[in-house]
Each structure stands twice: as C-alpha cells, then as structure tokens.
Amino acid sequence: MAVYTEVSDAELEGFLSGYSLGRPLSFKGVAEGVENSNYVLETETGRYILTLYERRVKAADLPYFLGLMEHLAEAGFPSARPVADHAGRTLGELAGRPAAIVAFLSGLSVKRPGVGHCREAGEGLAWLHQAGAGFAPRRENDLGQGAWVAMFETLAPRAEALKPGLAAQIGGDVAAIAAAWPRGLPQGVVHADWFPDNVFFRDGRFVGAIDFYFAANDQLAYDLGVALNAWCFEPDGSFNVTAGRALVEGYERRRKLTQAEKAALPALARGAALRFFLTRLADWRDERQGALVRPKDPLEYERKLAVHRAGLHLFEA
Amino acid sequence: MAVYTEVSDAELEGFLSGYSLGRPLSFKGVAEGVENSNYVLETETGRYILTLYERRVKAADLPYFLGLMEHLAEAGFPSARPVADHAGRTLGELAGRPAAIVAFLSGLSVKRPGVGHCREAGEGLAWLHQAGAGFAPRRENDLGQGAWVAMFETLAPRAEALKPGLAAQIGGDVAAIAAAWPRGLPQGVVHADWFPDNVFFRDGRFVGAIDFYFAANDQLAYDLGVALNAWCFEPDGSFNVTAGRALVEGYERRRKLTQAEKAALPALARGAALRFFLTRLADWRDERQGALVRPKDPLEYERKLAVHRAGLHLFEA
C-alpha cells in the first residue's frame, strides 16, 4: 500500500473504541503497494494491519473481500483474518474511508524469487484455490478478459504515446487473446494478484498471502497465468521456463490441473500480461517521484507480452 | 522517514548475517518522515527499525548520532538503542547506504497535541537534556543560528517566488534574530527536531523519543524554541500561550531554566521558526505528489515567523 489518508488521533481513538483490542501502543504507516493506505497497529492485544480503502477498490466489493479472508482463515489457509468490532462487523469507516483491521501476518516477501520460491508460490496458490471452495458470495472479475477490449479502446492513445506502433501491436494482442481464450475451465475464487509482494515466505517456505482486493470468481487457472508473469521472468525480460515449470509443479502438488487447463496456460498467461499492461498504462504518469510509492512501469508488461506472442513452451509437446 | 532505497533479499540476508538477531520474520517499509529510509524488521529475537541514511544526513555525523543514542539509552532515557553487529559496530552499510539497526520503540505520536501533551513533551525534553550530559563527542549545530545568513542568501529568490515581498520580510527576520540572539546560555546536547512525530506517548504520558539525526551541541534552550513552534501553534496559525506555558512548565519539572534562558525564549523560538522555514523552503517543490511523503509547507513556518515578529508573551511581565 502506501499512505494516502492521514488518520488523526481522535479518529483513531474513536475507531478503536468500537473494537476490543485494548489501547493502541504503536501506529505506523507502511510504504508498500499502491492501492490502499495501510498502518501497522500495535495494541495491548497484539499486532494488526489497519487498512483504509482508496481509489480502485469499490466499497461495494469490500464485504466480498473481507468475507473471503474470513472464509480462508476458517479453512486453515494462512491469510490475515479480519477483526470484528463490537457489533460483529469487519468493515468500518475511518477518516472518511471504508476501513478494516486484520491480524498481522508475519513473513517475508521476496523481491527476486528463485525456482524454489516459484514452486512454493504455486503450491500456496493451489492451497488458496482449495480453501476458497465453498465460499458462497460471488464477484465477477471486472479486470478479467471480458473487460480488456473496452479498456484497450480507452487506453490505445496512451499506448501509442508510450511507444510509436504499440497501439496496433497491443490491439493485435487483444484480438488474439480473445480468440484463444479458454471457456469452461474449472471455476472458483481467484486471487488475481498473486505477485511476490503478496506472498510470504519463511526460510524459503510459503507461509501466507495477503491482499485479496482483486479476488473474484473466475477460471482458477487464470491465477497461474498471473503468477507465471509475476514470478517467472528474469529482470532482463526473458521467461525462465524452469521457474515456470516449478510453479506449475508446485501447484499440482495440491491440485492437479486438467489437460484443458494445461493447454490453456499460454493463453491465460498472455491475457494476464495484457491485464497488467493495461492497468499499469492507466496508472502511468510521466513524472518520476522521489520516494516510493511510484507507479509501476507498463513497459515491463509490454516486454512480457512480446514473449507471449512467440508462445510459452511450458510443457514438452 | 519513507522508503527511498529498496533492499534486495540478498542484501538484507547479507546485512543480517553480521548481527546476532536470528532469522528475519517480517520486513516492512515505513511511510513516515522525510529524511531516511526506514523499515520495521521483525526477527526471531524481536522487533527493530532498520534505517538507511539518505540525503541530508552526513555519513561523518552518524557515529555521533548513534553514539548519542547509546549514551541516552545507557542513561535510562527512553530512546531506541542501536544494535551492535558481531564486531561491535552499530553502523554498517546496506544497499550502498550507511545503515543501522535500532531496537523498536513502542509509543504513539500525536498529530494534534493538547496542553497535556505539551507539558509531557517539555518534561521529556528536559529529561533528554539531563541524560545527554556527559556525552563527550561534539557536533556543531550546522543548521543553527550561525548558518542562517548564508542559507537565506541562497534561498531569498525562492522566498520571493513563494510570495512577493517575502524575501525582504525574511531578510528582516534574519537580521533581527542575529541581533537578539542570546550567547552564553547553558550548553549541552540538543535534539533540534523535537516535533510531535518524534515524541511518543502512551495514555497521554511521554514514553520515548526517536530521530536524533539533527542532534548537536548547542544552547539547551534552543530546543524549547523548536518545540514551542512545533507543539504550541493551532492549525489556524495562532500561538496557544497556554500550551506554550505548559511546555515550559513541564520542562522545569526536571530542569529549572535560568532567568537568561527564560528571557531568551522568544528570540530562540523566532530563530527556530526561521530555521524550519529555510529548510522547508529548500525542500519545497511545486508539484504535489499523490502519496506521502510530500515536502512540508514552508508557509506554515512563514506564518509562525509573523507571530514571532509581534513577540511571544510567554511569561507575565
């Protein structure tokens, strides 16, 4: 996250008076992520993350996200559990923003995942997919494949401004992805943002995941597409097929992929690359800022799209 | 602080291998302050703040600051104690920056101090002054009164650009402050940045202080000048004399001021306001940034200077 909204002393005190967490002992804004304002809150009863929801997160979606986090924690998946207030609500309001408190989850995210991390991240993702089964509420993936044509139409001029000729190239990607998009794969709750910063390790083992604010109901294997892009590319833009295979292998330790899912992975990964290219393009501003948080470079995903045009060769033919 | 420098997995691991803190369990950038990059680091042995020194902090001054923090902790003052590595050093290098680990200090800073907080902050400051006695190293206050004429000469055009006529007005302040500046007051270690964000409370009581990176040897009462500006003005720019008296009264619970110190407080506070006006002006950029950290508004201190021109009336004549 980051800190977009400052919380006054009185606001914090008022908010905490609705919970049974004891008095606050420490309260520090965290410089991570780009979507919400997050604080590490220490009280007499423990450590928590207090999140104020900003910008892209729709308030109407928050009960889905928080309900999912509760469901996952109940199912034994290592994710942060939302804390209920005196009235049993996990969603409140603070400083004019929707806000929630979740238990603090320990663990380190890796910045340069190795093959072993990819295997663990794959297994953690399959665990999440299993734990999400039985979660009744539904949320359409509003950044899923159905949204990309319209997003591209709005953003084509920015793509062209970023790099001449890019609009036509991305237009080709949008059409190719639509034509190749799989239907009828196993559905469930997807995380939809399974990036290294959202996955925690200890001693190289998966120990938890955070940030369920893009979660939705979609084809499960789409999450592997997101993860292949996020975990298995080298800094120079090349795809590390060993890492990719480890990710899939780790996933299959917990949940076997169907043949149709395996066959669809290159298309899903290409689509996922398009999704992150488009949203990064929408967030991109030319100005460089001195301190984090800065927008993420859309060109990183343009390079990944170029790799996908040539095809991912994850499995032996 | 904020996060200006990212630390890679390998860099963190390498750095921690020099300490006896056990394995890292959590590592989060903190969105606070503007000078350095700070991370909350949790390891098997406890919680720490890892700081990478950026920008304004001179590497040559770091042994003074870290030595002072050790001295204060030894003297029983509640400040963060630096952690020594295997070789007994508290200062190392990480990601190309000087870096140090200090114990995590709990406590809440207040954003809108009340009169009671001012009294406590005053008492905490006097405690710091007492605890600093006997600290042998010396550091000149390079942002003290001796520096303001030269700083103003460089910054006068920016002052004028900020508000027409301001350069002449501030030039008048610089001269008036130089003429009224006290000499020969009791000397010692000053914090020089005794702002609410650097002072921690629990249940309204002073419980500790952080951020000694402007500390220096100077006239002790200068710190009260800084604090009067930082703690005792209302958001509308007016000086709350009740809060100011409470600050001084709290200070005198621990250390009585001399008559000369009391008489000098208006001049010291005016000078301190000039110091923060000048450094904020130097840091000011017109662009607004979406997220914290943003530069602090120099005009806040211009308004305080205007109050000082009319004189602070802290004590009955």
Structural domain spans, chain B: 9-103, 115-310
Q: Which of B9, B12, B42, B203 best probes binding to A when mutated, by most A CB atoms within 10 angstroms?
A: B9
pTM: 0.86
CB A204 within 8 A of CB A110: no
What does CATH list as the number for B115-310?
A: 3.90.1200.10
| pLDDT attached to residue A285 | 64
Q: Is a pLDDT exceeding 80 seen at residue B288?
A: no
Q: What angle do CA A40, A298, A272 make, to 5 degrees?
A: 85
Q: Is a pLDDT exceeding 70 seen at residue B33?
A: no
Q: Is a pLDDT exceeding 80 seen at residue B4?
A: no
| pLDDT attached to residue A288 | 42
Which residue numbers in chain A have pLDDT < 70?
A: 1-3, 33-34, 285-295, 317
Q: Which residues 259-298 of chain B have a CB within 8 Å of chain A?
A: 287, 289-293
Q: Is B6 on the interface with A (CB under 8 A)?
A: yes
Chain-chain contact of B31 with A29 (C-beta, under 8 angstroms): yes
What ipTM is given for this predicted complex? Answer: 0.80
Of the candidates B103, B292, B223, which has an alpha carbon nearest to the alpha carbon of residue A7? B292
Q: Is a pLDDT exceeding 90 seen at residue B78?
A: yes
Chain-chain contact of A111 with B291 (C-beta, under 8 angstroms): no
Q: Which residues 112-171 of chain B have a CB within 8 Å of chain A?
A: 112
User: Which residues in chain B touch residue A28, judged by CB atoms under 8 angstroms apart?
Assistant: 30-32, 40
| pLDDT attached to residue A256 | 98
Which pair of structure tokens corresponds to residue A16?
């905490």
Mean pLDDT of B113-123: 97
- Model confidence over A117-153: pLDDT tens digits? 999 999 999 999 999 999 999 999 999 999 999 999 9
Q: Is a pLDDT exceeding 60 seen at residue B286?
A: no
Q: Is B183 on the interface with A (CB under 8 A)?
A: no
* d(C-alpha A296, C-alpha A198), whole Å: 15
User: Which residues in chain A touch residue B11, judged by CB atoms under 8 angstroms apart?
Assistant: none
Q: Is a pLDDT exceeding 90 seen at residue B268?
A: yes
| pLDDT attached to residue A229 | 97
CA dihedral A213, A219, A224, A225 (to 10 degrees): -90
CB A80 within 8 A of CB A49: yes
Q: B103 vs chain A: nearest CA distance in angstroms? A: 14
Q: A261 vs chain B: nearest CA distance in angstroms? A: 33
Chain-chain contact of B202 with A292 (C-beta, under 8 angstroms): no
For residue B134, give every residue at least 6 positions away whose Cβ sits within 8 Å of its Cβ, in sequence order, or none: B71, B75
| pLDDT attached to residue A33 | 61
Band (B312; pLDDT cuts 50, 70, 90): confident
| pLDDT attached to residue A1 | 38
- Model confidence over A78-109: pLDDT tens digits? 999 999 999 999 999 999 999 999 999 999 99
- What is B9-103's CATH number, 2.40.110.10, 1.10.287.3510, 3.40.190.80, 3.30.200.20? 3.30.200.20
Mean pLDDT of B157-174: 94
| pLDDT attached to residue B289 | 44
Of the candidates B94, B71, B89, B92, which has an alpha carbon nearest to the alpha carbon of residue B81? B71
| pLDDT attached to residue B54 | 85
| pLDDT attached to residue A226 | 98
